[in-house]
Amino acid sequence: MRRTAALALAASLASGGAGAETWKTYSPGPNGLEWYYDVDYVYRDARTGRVVALQAIGRPGAQPRMGPSGPGKPDGVGSIVALDCRKRTIVIVGSFSPKAPLQSSEAWRDAPAKRVSTPEDKALVAAACAGAANLPVK
């Protein structure tokens, strides 16, 4: 059942059924790129307690437009990640690009987590975990 919720989210995003996307920037990147997460698609996983977030990269003001966008969009590049806010670890649930639809692992809960080490991942943990206690549980 819990696995079904995560896979349903992934399937919804991949099919373009994501609806509204509310992107919030959390880290500047090189060459004018910025990292974002979608505040509409952040939740706590009921089984693991991890915060699951959709993140994407974009370049503000680029022509043609370059993200941030979700899976299935012509300018969408990013991933779904699971964050352990206390241990400061990350697991990649799935990734996407214009050339590759969202591909997610059904076994992400059992995958070994990696310590958050990059400035971008540290900023994502700070942003997505700030209100973790108030996130919906799925």
Q: How many domains in the chain?
A: 1
Please state the rounded mean pLDDT for residues 103-107.
87
pTM attached to this predicted model = 0.83
The CA angle 27-74-105, to the nearest 5 degrees, is 70
Residues 6+ apart with CB under 8 A from 96: 13, 14, 70, 71, 72, 76, 77, 78, 79, 102, 103
Please state the rounded mean pLDDT for residues 23-27.
95
| Mean pLDDT rounded to a whole number for the chain | 87
- Per-residue pLDDT tens digits for 75-95: 999 999 999 999 999 999 999
Domain range spanning residue 119? 2-134
